[in-house]
Structure 1
Amino acid sequence: MDNPVLSLSGATLSLRGNAGLVEILKGITLDVHRGESVGLVGPSGSGKSSLLMLMGGLEQATGGSVTALGHDLSAMSEDQLARLRRDHFGVVFQSFHLIPTMTALENVATPLELAGHRDAHARAADELAAVGLSDRAGHYPSQLSGGEQQRVALARAAAPRPDIVLADEPTGNLDSANGEAIVELLFGLQERHGTTLVLVTHAPDLAARCDRVITLHDGRIAPEETASEAAE
Structure 2
Amino acid sequence: MDAIPPAPPATDPLVRVKGLTLTVPSAAGPVNILRGIDLELGRGEAVGLIGPSGSGKTSLLMVLAGLERASSGSVVLDGQEVTGLSEDALAALRRRRVGIVFQAFHLIPTMTALENVCVPLELVGVRDAAARARAALEAVGLSHRLTHLPGQLSGGEQQRVALARAFAPAPALLLADEPTGNLDHATGAAVIDLLFALRRRHGTTLLLITHDRDLAARCDRQVHLSDGQVDTAVVV
TM-score by length of 1: 0.95
The aligned counterpart of 1:118 is 127
What letter is aligned with 1:184?
A: D
Shift in Å at residue 224 of structure 1? 7.0
Shift in Å at residue 196 of structure 1? 0.2
C-alpha distance in structure 1 between counterparts of 2:68 and 2:217, whole Å: 27
Q: 1:174 aligns with which of 178, 183, 186?
A: 183
What letter is aligned with 2:95?
A: R
Query: 1:128 is paired with a residue of what secondary structure?
Result: helix
Spell out, residue by residue over 1:39-80, the C-alpha distance to the aligned partner (whole angstroms, 9 max, x if none): 110000000111111111111110111111111112210100
Question: Would you identify which runs of 4 or more consecutive aligned residues in structure 1 move more than 6 Å?
Answer: none
Q: 1:82 aligns with which of 66, 74, 91?
A: 91
Greater Cα shift, 38-47 or 71-80: 71-80
Q: Is the 8 A contact 1:215 1:224 kept in 2?
A: no
C-alpha distance in structure 2 between counterparts of 1:10 and 1:188, whole Å: 33
Shift in Å at residue 18 of structure 1? 2.1
The aligned counterpart of 2:160 is 151
What letter is aligned with 1:201?
A: T
Shift in Å at residue 147 of structure 1? 0.6
C-alpha distance in structure 1 between counterparts of 2:173 and 2:98, whole Å: 5
C-alpha distance in structure 1 between counterparts of 2:168 and 2:174, whole Å: 11
Q: 2:30 aligns with which of 7, 21, 27?
A: 21
Identity over aligned pairs, percent: 60
Gap runs ≥5 in structure 2: 1-9
Spell out, residue by residue over 1:10-47, the C-alpha distance to the aligned partner (whole angstroms, 9 max, x if none): 10001112222100000000111100000110000000
What letter is aligned with 1:80?
A: A
Q: 1:195 aligns with which of 191, 196, 204?
A: 204
Shift in Å at residue 204 of structure 1? 1.1
Change (3 A) 1:128 1:201: same
Is it true that 1:52 corresponds to 2:68 in the alignment? no
The aligned counterpart of 2:79 is 70
The aligned counterpart of 1:214 is 223
Is it true that 1:205 corresponds to 2:214 in the alignment? yes
Richer in helix (by share): 1
C-alpha distance in structure 2 between counterparts of 1:141 and 1:172, whole Å: 18
Output the aligned Cα RMSD: 1.3
Number of equivalent positions: 227
TM-score by length of 2: 0.93
Gap runs ≥5 in structure 1: none
